[in-house]
Amino acid sequence: MSAAPSPALPDERLAAGAARLTARHAGRFSAETVQVLLTDSYRRLAETASVSTHLVVLAERLGALAHVQGVPGSGLPRVLFVCSHNAGRSQLAAALLEHRAAGRVTVSSAGTHPGPEIGPYIAQALSEAGTDQAGAFPKPLTDEVVRAADIVITMGCGDACPIVPGRRYLDWPVADPDGVPIEVVRQIRDDIDTRVTDLLAGLPST
């Protein structure tokens, strides 16, 4: 019985990107696995996102799979922040942790119902804090990313995550920055930054 054909990629740029990622992950993932994940990432983002950088999501999903499978070099602690739209709280937390960890932690963020873009005040507050938000956009929550995480942190917004044995789960009761003035967003950012600092202090040093 012949294998079912892989889904067609939406355009030539994504096909070329898939080819590059296949080469990069040669010996880990087949070309078919890369293509299936890319097509799924494209479909998920096309539902909500206003950006077209789908390869970023695919690369993150492949990295998560590599971590789950115990690929050498994937041993940094992995922290996943989750909120509903991945446009506010989880973006703040991920950017602040990545900034403060300085390479000690692999950080991801995702949304159960990702929005079209990051809130403008979120980007401003992060820029003021000196973090790099280049190319950041809301991403969908996927099984690979949850399974790869060592610590999964929801942001006090009632989001449900798949429960994977052996993971550490936290919920941070953080105020919602959606629709509030920049002054309030800064307060929320500083609250999250304090939590991030405490989290980082409790992680093993590398």
Strand 151-154: give its sheet, edge to edge.
106-111, 78-83, 151-154, 168-171
Query: At CA 77, angle to CA 143 and CA 151, rounded to 5?
Result: 50
Q: Which residues of 170-183 are buried (b: 16+ CB within 10 A; e: fewer)?
A: eebebbbbbeeeee
Tokens, residue 137: 């956009």
End-to-end CA distance of the chain: 49
Angle ∠(176,179,180) on CA atoms, nearest 5: 75
pLDDT score, position 185: 97
pLDDT at 167: 82
Looking at residue 158, what is its pLDDT? Answer: 67
pLDDT of residue 76: 83
User: Which residues fall within 8 angstroms of residue 148, CB to CB, at 6 or more apart?
Assistant: 63, 64, 65, 67, 68, 78, 80, 108
Please report, in tens digits, the pLDDT of each residue of the chain (206 residues total).
444 444 455 566 667 777 777 787 666 556 666 677 777 766 666 665 555 555 556 666 666 666 655 544 456 889 999 998 999 999 999 999 999 998 899 999 999 888 888 988 999 999 999 997 766 789 888 888 888 899 989 887 765 666 677 788 888 989 999 999 999 999 999 999 999 999 999 987 65
> How high is the pLDDT of residue 19?
79
- Contact partners, residue 192, CB within 8 Å, separation at least 6: 89, 92, 93, 96, 172, 174
pLDDT at 91: 94
Residue with tokens 């190319």: 135
Domains of the chain, each with CATH number or no CATH: 12-201 (3.40.50.2300)
Query: How far apart (Å, rounded) are the C-alpha atoms in residues 169 and 61?
Result: 20
